[in-house]
Amino acid sequence: MDEFIKRRGLDLLSVIAASTVPLGLWLRFRAIDNNHLILIMGILFSLIAIPCRENLPRFIRILIISVVISNIIMTAFLGAAAGYIVLFYFANAFNIGKGAFIGFIFVKAYYFLVGRRVSSSINRVVLALIFITAFITAAIFIANTTKSDIKSTDETLKKSEFIQRITIAIGKNQLTQFTNKELIDLGITSDIYTNNGEQILNGYGGRFYIEKQGQNVDLVFEDIPAKEECYRFYYINAPDIYGFKMTKIDGVIEAYPETSTAAIESFKKKVCYSGKEKVTIEFIGSIDDIVMSSRYWIK
């Protein structure tokens, strides 16, 4: 009985730790970097796998419960938007699952190659050293990569806030002419972008302008730096949650022949690593989609 309670307590602690990592990353960086999440989950699930290495169903049960609770927690904190939240569920499950797979394989390989040949006390010392080294390395990696991404993260957050304000204004029928002047007069640019007369400048110094073409609204951001900042700007916190479901980078529509990491990377290389120093990114949405999305954001 005592062993059962101890095991259940350990499982509960494992679920709590694993399910709150995505939220912790979001609260700290206001974005979830897939590589960071997979790295942390790999280390965490390596620890979880040690007592579960001979009990795969137990390990899988912890993984599934962790994914479900993590999605519930993130939904509670971030809210749900039609279409977007389902995509997030799959991405979150994939990243946590990938980290868990790496962790479990590492532990099984360790005990197959080393663990079964040495005493339990030596195993504890060796594993402790491995995990301490892994945590320190991960902390240094995340700190350094995050430091280099501060500017792009800030601009991504400002873009999301700006587009959310536009969506709310459209939902409230506050935009009639769909001009920069209307955005400025309504205070939509306030504390986000600067303006010179009716000209709005995005955080990178390039022009921003809004256009209405038939039943579509076009948001244009000029002079966005190429390479990784281009990718982060159009991909992270994509504005489809605000009704802008089409993205163009220098006129090329964001589209993937298949939903896979390879396809996403291929498109990124095509539009953000084309050799240009700066790109123009457009977000396009129909009035109907924007109004529907605004219901989730109007308080």
What is the rounded distance in angstroms from the CA atom of residue 135 to the CA atom of residue 269? 31
pLDDT at site 82: 39
Are residues 70 and 177 located together in one domain of the fold? no
Say how many domains are in the chain.
2
Summarize pLDDT for 10-39 with one digit per residue, the tens: 888 999 998 998 888 877 766 677 788 888
Summarize pLDDT for 228-282 with one digit per residue, the tens: 888 888 887 678 888 898 999 998 888 766 666 777 788 888 889 988 899 999 9
Residue 227 belongs to some domain of the structure? yes
Q: Which residue has the higher pLDDT, 192 or 90?
A: 192
Mean per-residue pLDDT for 118-136? 88
* Whether 23 contacts 76, CB under 8 Å: no
pLDDT at site 64: 94
Q: Which of 90, 122, 148 is the last residue of a domain?
A: 148
Are residues 120 and 244 located together in one domain of the fold? no
Summarize pLDDT for 149-197 with one digit per residue, the tens: 555 567 888 898 899 999 999 999 999 899 999 999 999 999 899 988 8
Q: Mean pLDDT of all residues in the chain? A: 85
Q: Which residue has the higher pLDDT, 228 or 286?
A: 286
Residue 233 belongs to some domain of the structure? yes
Q: Which of 131, 148, 165 is the last residue of a domain?
A: 148
Residue 66 belongs to some domain of the structure? yes
Segments forming the whole domain that contains residue 54: 2-148
Are residues 178 and 216 located together in one domain of the fold? yes
Are residues 213 and 245 located together in one domain of the fold? yes
Summarize pLDDT for 108-126 with one digit per residue, the tens: 999 988 888 888 888 888 8
Residue 163 belongs to some domain of the structure? yes
Mean per-residue pLDDT for 38-60? 91
Residue 213 belongs to some domain of the structure? yes
Are residues 118 and 160 located together in one domain of the fold? no
Are residues 108 and 176 located together in one domain of the fold? no
Are residues 126 and 185 located together in one domain of the fold? no
pLDDT at site 92: 82
pLDDT at site 216: 94
Are residues 159 and 207 located together in one domain of the fold? yes
% of the chain beyond a pLDDT of 70: 87
pLDDT at site 257: 66
Are residues 127 and 166 located together in one domain of the fold? no
Q: Which of 148, 180, 215 is the last residue of a domain?
A: 148
Residue 299 belongs to some domain of the structure? no
Q: Which residue has the higher pLDDT, 199 or 239?
A: 199
Q: Which two tokens stand for residue 129?
A: 């050293």
Are residues 199 and 130 located together in one domain of the fold? no
Q: How confident is the model at residue 81 (pLDDT cuts 50, 70, 90)?
A: very low
Residue 206 belongs to some domain of the structure? yes
Are residues 8 and 115 located together in one domain of the fold? yes
Is pLDDT at 223 greater than 70 in this prediction?
Answer: yes
Residue 58 belongs to some domain of the structure? yes
Are residues 11 and 25 located together in one domain of the fold? yes
